Structure 1
Amino acid sequence: MSFLHPGVEIKSPAQLDAMRRAGLVVGRTLELLTERVVPGMTTAQIDAVAEEHIRDSGATPSFLGYQGFPATLCVSVNDEVVHGIPGDRVVREGDVVSIDCGAIVDGWHGDAAVTVALGEVSDEVTELLRVTEEALWRGIGAARLGGRIGDISAAVETYVRGEGPYGVVEDFTGHGIGSAMHQPPDVPNVGRAGRGLRITEGLALAIEPMVTLGDQANDTLDDDWTVVTRDGRTAAHFEHSMTVTAEGLWVLTAVDGGRARLAAAGLPFGGR
């Protein structure tokens, strides 16, 4: 491992392989939760399913104890944007549930998030989820060796703005990831192409658009964690950890490494 700039880790191939192992734990945990989360569960029960699966996979939850966070997952419901603390809240038919998950394998981190709708939701909420997930993949697809972080930011923002009057959350960003869950550089969801840190082989990034049906303005609740939209409208959050190799893009937290989505977009797969 080397450092391109202060705090910016450049991983060796072996270290990226370790990150891939952590990423697979995260990806498979999120797949499991997407199948298992149903109306009537508490957010604490969702969290317990995740912790059991992560530990049974030989990994450690990244979030548990991080800066005092008390759970394995961030579970954010409806107008909660990110960092919702699991507890006795019961999720119900028609709720939108964002699940953010991290795991550590051999000291290396994976971090990803999905948002799922429970049962029937409105067409505008369905479209919000589609737009947010597609914005994530547009951001991933904009990453190139020799390109810049701003290329990712611009791709996310341009796509979302072009799809409708959505709010793109600016106060929270993606980030570098590796031997710590959050590292430089920040990966904003708004920005200009050609700006920011240059993307080099061995850099790993967590890209995570957060999009709202209304204004992007938000507040943090008294628990000092849960972020909610100020106007009370629904938010969505999708995230993957990824890297760029000489061969192409490698989505470390996608179970297939990103092969299917990248192929559909005509983008090169760079994993192994």
Structure 2
Amino acid sequence: MTIENEAQLDKLRKVGGLVARTLAAMGRALEPGMMTRELDTLGRALLEREGARSAPERSYGFPGATCISVASDCAHGIPDDTVVKAGDLINIDVSAELDGYFGDTGASFAVPPVRPDIERLCRDGRRAMWAGIRAVKPGSQLNAVGRSIEDFARRKGYSLVRNLASHGVGRTLHDDPGEIPTWYEPRDRRRIPEGLVFTIEPFLSLGADQVEQRDDGWSLRPPGHQPTVQYEHTLVATRRGPLVLTLA
């Protein structure tokens, strides 16, 4: 989606703020002994209290209000009776529709006690996302985002999952432009128009470059079970730089 007026921006700010607050509240509530279904119930309540609807549930019939992935799973995890344990790596992805507009955000959380390598992975996952965000400028090539993320990952010794990508968002959960690589793709000649609304969500890993779908038809994990994190913001490309819509 490309924003055409302030009214659209206001609605995107509203849904972006809501999903950001919901993600933050779920992260604070996360603790050993709780089931991921309980965490999802909290997320649903916070979204519905503001009149929003779960985007994956509404758009794709996902069996939950939010995606919660545990341990080796890194995306699209189904909330269920899985019990959170100390030391788990949890990814929470929150997306919603409100008044016809969509917002999308996500983050990985390490449940204490945290191994030093996982702590670094989480820290650098956030830094990789922000490296991509800082590359956003109207008129520049879209692949500058992936180039910045890949440069950061390579310097720090990480791999990037290359069959999960960022995407446009706004009027739908997955809007134009289509898949936006979070690694450098030299053949991608698309440019960033002013007002473009999209996500930046690299999957930074300790060795994985692909994920596979599990038998439940949704959950994704690296074949080698390598720890992998995802951090995601929705943003708008403006003349003054990237405007992040999903800050809590």
Superposition TM-score, scaled by structure 2 size: 0.95
Whole-Å separation in 1 of the counterparts to 2:199 and 2:66: 16
Aligned pairs for 1:1-272 (under 5 A) are 9-164=2-157, 166-185=158-177, 186-192=179-185, 195-255=188-248
In the TM superposition, residue 194 of structure 1 has moved relative to its aligned partner by 9.2
In the TM superposition, residue 182 of structure 1 has moved relative to its aligned partner by 0.3
Whole-Å separation in 1 of the counterparts to 2:71 and 2:196: 33
Post-superposition CA distance 1:43-84 (Å, at most 9, x none): 111100000001112222112143221111111112112101
Runs of 4+ in 1 over 4 A off after TM superposition: 192-195
Amino acid at match of 1:98: N
Deviates more, 1:195-204 or 1:235-244: 195-204
In the TM superposition, residue 189 of structure 1 has moved relative to its aligned partner by 1.1
User: Aligned residue pairs: how many?
Assistant: 247
Which ranges in structure 2 are unaligned for 5 or more consecutive residues?
none
User: Cα RMSD (Å) of the superposition?
Assistant: 1.5
Identity between Structure 1 and Structure 2 (%): 33
Post-superposition CA distance 1:225-270 (Å, at most 9, x none): 1111110121111100001222222101112xxxxxxxxxxxxxxx
Deviates more, 1:56-65 or 1:78-87: 56-65
Superposition TM-score, scaled by structure 1 size: 0.87
Whole-Å separation in 2 of the counterparts to 1:13 and 1:244: 14
Secondary structure at 1:63's aligned position in 2?
A: helix
